[in-house]
Amino acid sequence: MPTEALIARLTDLLGPKGVVTDPALVEPHLVEWRGLYRGSASVVVKPATTEEVAAVVKLCAETRTPIVPQGGNTGLVGGAVAEAGTVILSLARMNRVRAIDKAAYTLTVEAGVVLADVQKAAEEADRLFPLSLAAEGSCQIGGNLSTNAGGTAVLRYGNSRDLVLGIEAVLPNGEIYNGLHGLRKDNTGYDLRHLLIGAEGTLGIITAAVLKLFPRPRDIATALVAVADPQGAIDTLALLRERSGDTVTMFELMSRFSIETVLRHVPGTSDPLETESAWYALIELSSPRAGGDLQNALEEGLGEAMENGWVVDAAIAQNDTQRAAFRRIREEISDAQKHEGGSIKHDVSVPLASVPVFLARADAAIEKLIPGTRPCSFGHAGDGNLHYNLSQPVGADREAFLQQWEAANRVVHDIVQELGGSFSAEHGIGKLKVHELEHYKSPAALEAMRQIKRALDPYTIMNPGKVIAL
Ligand SMILES: Cc1cc2nc3c(=O)[nH]c(=O)nc-3n(C[C@H](O)[C@H](O)[C@H](O)COP(=O)(O)OP(=O)(O)OC[C@H]3O[C@@H](n4cnc5c(N)ncnc54)[C@H](O)[C@@H]3O)c2cc1C
């Protein structure tokens, strides 16, 4: 428990606005999105500047007080869960756009800017910041970078890591690392930017970043497509990339069951296709060139895919309202699945060509382990990334089903490993997957990670217990 004396010193540094101890105001910081964990910390600090973050970290290093950085608290692996005795450091007050450079296509923002506001700032300057995910109304750019978030536009623009030119951070000893430049070229030794991105707050606190911008899309074509099977989806993706001048920005695979959960539980949604199929794809093409060529390219490409037997039915959005309705079906899957009872989650990636074999093998193995389980498979299939979530059998006991979490993970992750994939494609390790990292990562990689952690954070104050077990 942080002592009265520590709280008094934190208040001296940040003023009363910067230190929260009222249990009702601390509460939202203890709730974890999936309900797997519950935090028990009693203090939240809310610094407003990088210097204030540095001062807090110095004090915590001196008193050996563990710190849990927190952004929008939308992470899905318990990375922002704070145990009793830790201080939660919220970046919420560091929410300024510091600079925009239209000619250089860069945007400099503080870590606490909500992702949707980053997108808006880019748009106001007639530019695009392409990172996009269903939690964008609450997650913060600092959290996105700390988890190296993926989302729906990775196929074209890359992960968060690919969207950052420079970073400012406070290291575990309280020193400020100022790498906040917009240089496209800078080969001056180890790149701390890439060490901090994806570190989930275990190596320091990201306080600001220079982000890459892109020209805004002026031609967009979107389709919701029933495919014959996952192989048909992959073949269609390859064809569309070729036929559209490589303008495919989004390619999301969805099983019939995942779509049905949305149609059943989300008011205002409807089945956009007459033909029922076991698999669907949400496809979007976009280009900064105006002119309407993409709708034609999409129609022609899908026509060819139909002739090849890969696509069985397709609806192409005729306006923005239809486009939004198609996207909504994909975005609502995670929430809708909650109404189907207990769910065991997987966030895996495999080489693209192995997506069909992964799905077939995993479905068979899970049916053997827990008969009647309903796989709710969907995800960023263009990147080989699937959220292979398992809904409990109808009528089963929720708690008994969830007790099979680790057994199901082992079965699924072993298949992923055999196919040369990753057991955590985009959500990270956090608290949830520390033991999976121990199990699957090579001893050489684990030892190097431990040495880095010990070197930068000798007192283990930075988000202890997350990512790597020491
Ligand atoms: C509905 C929904 C959809 C999602 N879809 C996707 C998706 O498509 N792709 C995807 O990749 N993720 C997705 N996520 C997961 C989540 O939104 C992302 O991981 C997001 O990037 C987390 O940002 P946050 O600000 O909420 O971070 P938090 O949850 O607050 O923190 C996440 C981790 O980062 C650390 N951290 C936060 N801020 C900082 C900082 N400034 N410096 C250092 N460490 C920090 C925390 O300690 C924690 O370990 C989704 C989540 C939800 C709820």
User: Cβ(66)–Cβ(88) under 8 Å?
Assistant: no
Residue 129 lies in domain: 97-215
Instruction: Judge whether residue 230 has pLDDT over 60.
Output: yes
Pair (118, 41) in one structural domain: no
Please tell me the predicted confidence (pLDDT) of residue 324: 95
Where is the domain boundary, 196, 215, 234? 215
Q: Is 191 part of any domain?
A: yes
Please tell me the predicted confidence (pLDDT) of residue 436: 97
Ligand 1 atom 46: residue of nearest CA: 80
Q: Which atom of ligand 1 is nearest to the CA of 380?
A: 8
Pair (81, 104) in one structural domain: no
Please tell me the predicted confidence (pLDDT) of residue 1: 56
3-state secondary structure of 345: coil
Pair (55, 18) in one structural domain: yes
369 alpha carbon – ligand 1 mean position (Å): 31
CA angle 319, 324, 328 (to 5 degrees): 155
Q: Is 449 part of any domain?
A: no
Ligand 1 atom 49: residue of nearest CA: 79
Strands 87-90 and 67-70: parallel
Distance of CA 103 to the CA centre of its chain: 29
Say if ligand 1 is within 6 A of residue 74 CB.
Answer: yes
Q: Is 448 part of any domain?
A: no
Q: Mean pLDDT over all residues of the chain? A: 96
Pair (247, 211) in one structural domain: no
Number of domains comprising the chain: 4
Assign residue 358 the CATH number of its domain: 3.30.70.2740
Please tell me the predicted confidence (pLDDT) of residue 352: 95
Identify the band that residue 34 occupies on the pLDDT scale cut at 50, 70 and 90. Answer: confident
Pair (114, 203) in one structural domain: yes
Q: Is 366 part of any domain?
A: yes
User: Cβ(182)–Cβ(167) under 8 Å?
Assistant: no
Say if ligand 1 is within 6 A of residue 116 CB.
Answer: no
Q: Is 71 part of any domain?
A: yes
Where is the domain boundary, 65, 90, 115? 90
364 alpha carbon – ligand 1 mean position (Å): 32
Which percentage of the chain shows pLDDT scores above 90?
Answer: 96
39 alpha carbon – ligand 1 mean position (Å): 16
Q: What's the whole-number mean pLDDT along residues 159-179?
A: 98
CA distance linking residue 55 with residue 61, whole number of Å? 10
- Which residue among 45, 70, 424 is best mutated to probe the pocket of ligand 1, counting the most ligand atoms within 8 A of its Cβ? 70
Pair (62, 107) in one structural domain: no
Q: Is 153 part of any domain?
A: yes
Pair (170, 227) in one structural domain: no
Pair (224, 183) in one structural domain: no
CA distance linking residue 148 with residue 154, whole number of Å? 11
Q: Which atom of ligand 1 is nearest to the CA of 70?
A: 30
Say if ligand 1 is within 6 A of residue 153 CB.
Answer: no
Among 250, 253, 239, 249, smallest CA distance to 300 is for 239
Ligand 1 atom 53: residue of nearest CA: 74
Please tell me the predicted confidence (pLDDT) of residue 152: 86
Say if ligand 1 is within 6 A of residue 205 CB.
Answer: yes
Encoded tokens for 149 = 């978030």
Assign residue 68 the CATH number of its domain: 3.30.43.10
Pair (317, 304) in one structural domain: yes
Pair (71, 166) in one structural domain: no
User: Cβ(143)–Cβ(430) under 8 Å?
Assistant: no
Q: What are phi and psi of 457, to 5 degrees?
A: -135, 65
Which percentage of the chain shows pLDDT scores above 70?
Answer: 100
Say if ligand 1 is within 6 A of residue 177 CB.
Answer: no
Please tell me the predicted confidence (pLDDT) of residue 409: 97
Pair (118, 205) in one structural domain: yes
The H or E element containing residue 335 is: helix 333-337
428 alpha carbon – ligand 1 mean position (Å): 9
Q: Give 106-163 pLDDT, tens digit per residue.
A: 999 999 999 999 999 999 999 999 999 989 999 999 999 999 999 889 999 999 999 9
429 alpha carbon – ligand 1 mean position (Å): 11
DSSP per position, 363-396: HHHHHHHSTT-EEEEEE-GGGTEEEEEEEPPTT-
Pair (210, 131) in one structural domain: yes
Identify the band that residue 35 occupies on the pLDDT scale cut at 50, 70 and 90. Answer: confident
Where is the domain boundary, 334, 362, 383? 334
- Which residue among 30, 53, 67, 76 is best mutated to probe the pocket of ligand 1, counting the most ligand atoms within 8 A of its Cβ? 76
Assign residue 107 the CATH number of its domain: 3.30.465.10
Say if ligand 1 is within 6 A of residue 198 CB.
Answer: no
Q: Give 331-358 pLDDT, tens digit per residue.
A: 999 899 999 999 999 999 999 999 999 9
Please report, for the chain, how many H helices and E strands are present, in that order.
Answer: 17, 19
Q: What's the whole-number mean pLDDT along residues 355-372?
A: 97
Q: Is 455 part of any domain?
A: no
Q: What's the whole-number mean pLDDT along residues 441-459?
A: 97
Q: Is 436 part of any domain?
A: no
DSSP per position, 211-267: EE-EEPP-EEEEEEEEESSHHHHHHHHHHHHHHTTS-EEEEEEEEHHHHHHHHHHST
Please tell me the predicted confidence (pLDDT) of residue 5: 93
434 alpha carbon – ligand 1 mean position (Å): 17
Instruction: Judge whether residue 76 has pLDDT over 90.
Output: yes
Q: What's the whole-number mean pLDDT along residues 32-59?
A: 96
Say if ligand 1 is within 6 A of residue 391 CB.
Answer: no
